[in-house]
Amino acid sequence: MFLLAIGVIVAYLIGSFSSAVWIGRIFYHKDVREYGSHNAGTTNTIRVLGLRPGIVVLLIDAFKGWLAVSLDFLFLRPSTEAYTVYFDVALALAAVLGHVFPIYTGFKGGKGVATLMGVVLALYPEALLSALLVFTLIFLATRYVSLASVTAAVLFPILDIFVFHQQDPVLRAFAVFIAVFIVITHRKNIGRLLHGRESKMNFRKKPEAGEDKPEGHKGVDGTAGGKLSERG
């Protein structure tokens, strides 16, 4: 059991690598958490730094979620193999919590969507493709990253259980947890969507002036940065 505990700690440390923060600091001399939505995730990275670094952040964050779960063999032993699925879910949770509360960068990270995508790739590869298809269709139709993320997350356990006939009760429960987690972390986005104030993603426009100013700057409307931006 000691090895399993070490594995969970390692997964948390892997998840704590905040690619958005480090890429911004090293290559652009910016902390993305001081701009736009103040979130260390893919969407805010695209808004603040551009599409290319945003794609890199997406890939790294997804990879660390997949890696954290895929390293389970390093910590499992014959006496603990019966707990494999529980251990994999624990690793997944640790990686996502590391992304949301990263120890290296002041416990202020992202919302965990990309990291969860990597986790899902490791645990639910078939359902992931369907969820990505849902995300893509909703995003292309609306240009709302938050709406696409929440819709795909809510449909994910339905796809996993009823379309792909997931039999493991632990993985079923974790699929439901993923949906609830994404809804909770996007509750402010949902509120803005309901009130028509959520920002759409436009890959062709340059970062808006309000989004390119650090936290504390007051725009003409009195809000930080001058404009509302999507918390992605």
Q: What is the mean pLDDT of residues 133-143?
A: 97
The pLDDT score that the predictor gives to residue 204 is 60
Query: Which has the higher per-residue pLDDT, 37 or 25?
Result: 25
Q: What is the mean pLDDT of residues 209-231?
A: 42
pLDDT for residue 232 is more than 90: no
Confidence of residue 80 (pLDDT cuts 50, 70, 90): confident
User: Among 21-25, 147-151, 165-169, 219-223, where is mean pLDDT lowest?
Assistant: 219-223
CA distance 189 to 192: 5
Q: What is the mean pLDDT of residues 207-220?
A: 45
CA distance 41 to 110: 5
> Which residues have CB under 8 Å from 192's CB, separation 6+?
146, 198, 228, 230
Q: What is the mean pLDDT of residues 101-123?
A: 96
- Residues 61, 5, single domain; the answer is yes
Q: What percentage of the chain carries pLDDT values higher than 90?
A: 82
Q: Confirm whether 64 is domain-assigned.
A: yes
Confidence of residue 230 (pLDDT cuts 50, 70, 90): very low
Total count of domains within the chain: 2
Domain that holds residue 151: 124-203
Closest listed residue to residue 121, CA positions, set 92, 149, 101, 148:
92
Confidence of residue 41 (pLDDT cuts 50, 70, 90): very high
- Residues 137, 172, single domain; the answer is yes
Report the mean per-residue pLDDT for the chain: 89
Q: What is the mean pLDDT of residues 23-47?
A: 95
Q: Confirm whether 116 is domain-assigned.
A: no
- Residues 130, 46, single domain; the answer is no
Q: What is the mean pLDDT of residues 119-147?
A: 96
User: Among 46-55, 57-66, 185-194, 218-227, where is mean pLDDT lowest?
Assistant: 218-227
- Residues 81, 138, single domain; the answer is no
Closest listed residue to residue 174, CA positions, set 89, 88, 83:
89
Q: Confirm whether 217 is domain-assigned.
A: no
* Phi–psi pair at 48, nearest 5 degrees: -90, -45
Q: Confirm whether 219 is domain-assigned.
A: no
- Residues 90, 156, single domain; the answer is no
- Residues 79, 141, single domain; the answer is no
Q: Confirm whether 213 is domain-assigned.
A: no
The pLDDT score that the predictor gives to residue 111 is 94
Confidence of residue 187 (pLDDT cuts 50, 70, 90): very high
